[in-house]
Amino acid sequence: MKVSYFPGCTLKTKAKELDIYARRSAEALGVTLEEIENWQCCGGVFTTSNDEIATKLSSIRALKAAGDKGQPLVSVCSACHNVLKQTNAQFNNDADFAFRVNNYVKPDEYNGETKVIHYLELLRDVVGFDKIKEKVVNPLTGKKIAAYYGCLLLRPGKVMAMDDVENPTIMEDFIRAIGGEPVIYAYRNECCGGYITMESKELAAAKSKKVSENAKEKGAELIVTACPLCKYNLDKHAEDIPVVYITELLAEALGVKE
Amino acid sequence: MENKQNVCNEIIRRSGVNPRKCMKCGKCSGTCPAYDEMEYHPHQFVYMVETGDIEPLLKSKSIYRCLSCFACIDRCPRGVEPAKIVEAVRLEVVRQQGNNHLKPNDLPEMLDVDLPQQAIVSAFRKYTK
Ligand code: SF4
Ligand code: SF4
């Protein structure tokens, strides 16, 4: 099966592991990630105001490119996924916004029908965690792994609709599928500080520390994330505990890492 | 005075938020990860925009402290979505000429080898127009 893929700027630069292992693992599971042509950076964060047009055009173009091929649009980076999905929702809920952005893609307009799915949803809903379990050759047996959702994978819950926004299970189920032991801790869906690291290192440090301290306290040996900025903040400002990308663990478990 | 009300009306329109739905329970502020660094908290943004008390917000550093974590959106029991008001107030400031909060010249000293592009583009998206 083929799906459209939006890697995003960070996966081409500082988070190459997130990208490379996503492609390799998907391939091993029978899914080809087809990078859409001429994609542009999503901007990293969604601007909620309904009169913001220009900053959402890159998402609209990506959504349209996938829609033209009749494929769902998959991304791995939590931030790209969040921006694409929120933009798609705004397009579908706000006719004035849809009209305005379509002025920039005319004459061939976007119809709002592209399905936006995160890589984890691809694993859960398209491939299936059971099938992944069967394909695991190096199970992470006994490894205590803390899933870090952060903000962008889940919120706003009404729009992202990936999982229960306060009691998610998708990452823990993923960890089980690759043989690991998920660690549940309170801060798994609290903010790491995000881009505030550019504005106040102290605030980013305080937020990240709470996350990693809490994960360690609950016995985690490792934190997994799908977000390059979460990884950065945790690595930079927080407790001494390894933080790895979901795709890297998956590739390792599937035996396609090297 | 009238002008202040116009600014508030525009902020309300742009955000799509109805501040009158707020019951002032403070849950948004209680869950806000930036609470300690904010002079005005999310529930105060909602109330101050509703009542036309906009000037203190436009001048406050609090508009640059929101992390866009959307926690207040999901945890408000009345569906007010305070983060959208905070953003609409910030846009009122940074959209004006000369008011960019982050400038390209500030960047070199902020960079380190691990800093992901995502941090830079996100900060520009929030602090600069
Ligand atoms: S949580 Fe909602 S209802 Fe409560 S103070 Fe905040 S905006 Fe108002
Ligand atoms: S979105 Fe902003 S205002 Fe709302 S809880 Fe998060 S940091 Fe606070």
Given the CA of residue B82, which atom of ligand 1 is nearest to it? 7
Q: What is the CATH number of the domain that holds B87?
A: 1.10.1060.10
Instruction: Please provide the DSSP assignment of B72-100 as one string.
Output: HHHH-TT---HHHHHHHHHHHHHTSTT--
Residues A111 and A182 in one domain: no
CATH code at position A184:
3.40.50.1860
How confident is the model at residue B2, as a pLDDT?
A: 61
pLDDT digits (tens, 9 = 90+) for A199-254: 999 999 999 999 999 999 999 999 999 999 999 999 998 778 999 999 999 999 99
Between chains, do B118 and A229 touch, taking CB under 8 Å as contact?
yes
Q: Rg for chain B (alpha carbons), in Å?
A: 15
Query: Is-contact A188 A149, C-beta < 8 A?
Result: yes
> Which of A15, A46, A49 shows the shortest C-beta gap to B88?
A49
* Number of domains, chain B: 1
Residues A210 and A139 in one domain: yes
Q: How far apart are CA A65 and CA A79, in angstroms?
A: 19
Clarify whether residues A209 and A140 are in a common domain.
yes
Instruction: Decide if B44 is inside a domain.
Output: yes
Beta bridge partners of A182: A145
Query: Are A198 and B34 a contacting pair at CB < 8 A?
Result: no
pLDDT for residue B23: 97
- Do A49 and A150 fall into the same domain? no
Calpha distance A120→A103 (Å, rounded): 33
Nearest residue to B69 (alpha-carbon basis) of A210, A145, A46: A46
Average pLDDT over residues A78-98: 98
The residue from A86, A119, A152 where one domain ends is A119
Interface pTM (ipTM) of the complex? 0.95
d(CA A33, CA A77): 14
Of the candidates A101, A109, A88, A113, which has an alpha carbon nearest to the alpha carbon of residue A51? A101
**Pocket perturbation via mutation, ligand 1, pick of B31, B46, B66 by most ligand atoms within 8 A of CB:** B46
Q: Which residues of B touch A (CB under 8 A)?
A: 14-16, 33-34, 36-37, 64-65, 67-71, 73-74, 81, 83-84, 87-88, 91, 102, 110, 114-123, 125-127
In the predicted model, what is the mean pLDDT of chain A?
Answer: 97
Q: Is A237 an interface residue toward B (CB < 8 Å)?
A: no
Ligand 1 surroundings by CB, under 6 angstroms: B 22-28, 42-43, 46, 76-78, 80, 82
Confirm or reject contact between A194 and chain B (CB < 8 A): yes
The tokens describing B81, both together, are: 């979505």
Domain that holds residue A166: 127-254
What pLDDT digit, counting tens, does each position of A184-202 carry?
999 999 999 999 999 999 9
Residue minimizing CA distance to atom 6 of ligand 1: B28
Residues A51 and A143 in one domain: no
A248 and A147, same structural domain? yes
Q: 């906009």: which residue's tokens?
A: B54
Q: Which tokens belong to A209?
A: 């520390």
The answer, yes or no, to whether residue A171 has pLDDT greater than 70, is yes
Query: Using a CB-CB distance cutoff of 8 angstroms, which residues of chain B are in contact with residue A48?
Result: 15-16, 81, 83-84, 87-88
Give the mean model confidence (pLDDT) for residues A143-154: 98
Q: Which two tokens stand for residue B94?
A: 């940074």
pLDDT on residue A239: 75
Encode pLDDT of A43-70 as tens digits: 999 999 999 999 999 999 999 999 999 9
Q: What is the mean pLDDT of residues A160-183?
A: 98
A236 touches chain B (CB under 8 A): yes
Q: Do A24 and A96 reside in the same domain of the chain?
A: yes
Taking Cα atoms as reference points, which of A137, A133, A241, A138 lies closest to residue A187?
A241
Q: Are residues A47 and A154 in the same domain?
A: no
Match 């979901």 to its residue by tokens. A246
Q: Is the dihedral of CA A161, A164, B62, A235 positive or negative?
A: negative
Output the 3-class SS for chain A: CEEEECCCCHHHCCCHHHHHHHHHHHHHCCCEEEECCCCCCCCCCCCCCCCCCHHHHHHHHHHHHHHHCCCCEEECCHHHHHHHHHHHHHHHHCHHHHHHHHCCCCCCCCCCCCCEEEHHHHHHHHHCHHHHHHHCCCCCCCCEEEECCCCCCCCCHHHHCCCCCCCCCHHHHHHHHCCCEEECCHHHHCCCCHHHHHCCHHHHHHHHHHHHHHHHHCCCCEEEECCHHHHHHHHHHCCCCCEEEHHHHHHHHHCCCC
Other CB atoms within a 10 A radius of the CB of residue B55 amount to 11
pLDDT of B1: 53
Say yes or no for a CB contact (<8 Å) between B115 and A190. no
Structure tokens at A184: 């549940």
- The Å distance, Cα B36 to ligand 2 centre, comes to 12
Q: Are A162 and A120 in contact (CB under 8 A)?
A: yes
How far away is chain A from the Cα of B21, in angstroms, using its nearest Cα? 18
Is residue B6 a part of any domain in this protein? yes
Which ligand neighbours the alpha carbon of B67 most closely?
2
Whether residue A183 contacts residue A145, with contact meaning beta carbons closer than 8 Å, is answered with yes
How much is the pLDDT for A258?
86
Query: Which range of residues forms the domain containing residue B50?
Result: 2-99
Same domain, residue pair A201 and A104: no
Contacts of B10 (CB under 8 A, 6+ apart): B92
- Both A105 and A135 in one domain: the answer is no
Is B107 within a domain? no
Note which residues in 202-231 of chain A have CB less than 8 A from chain B: 203, 206-207, 227-229, 231
Contact between A51 and B14 using a beta-carbon 8 Å cutoff: yes
Environment class of B20 (CB within 10 Å of its CB; exposed 0-12, middle 13-18, buried 19+): exposed
CATH of the domain at A48: 1.20.1050.140
Q: Is residue A112 domain-shared with residue A214, that is, in the same domain?
A: no
CB pairs below 8 Å between A and B: how many? 133
Q: From CA B68, how far away is CA A23, in angstroms rounded?
A: 29
Same domain, A114 and A131: no
What pLDDT shows up at residue A237?
87
Which residue numbers in chain B have pLDDT < 50? none
Amino acid at A80: C
Domains: count for chain A: 2
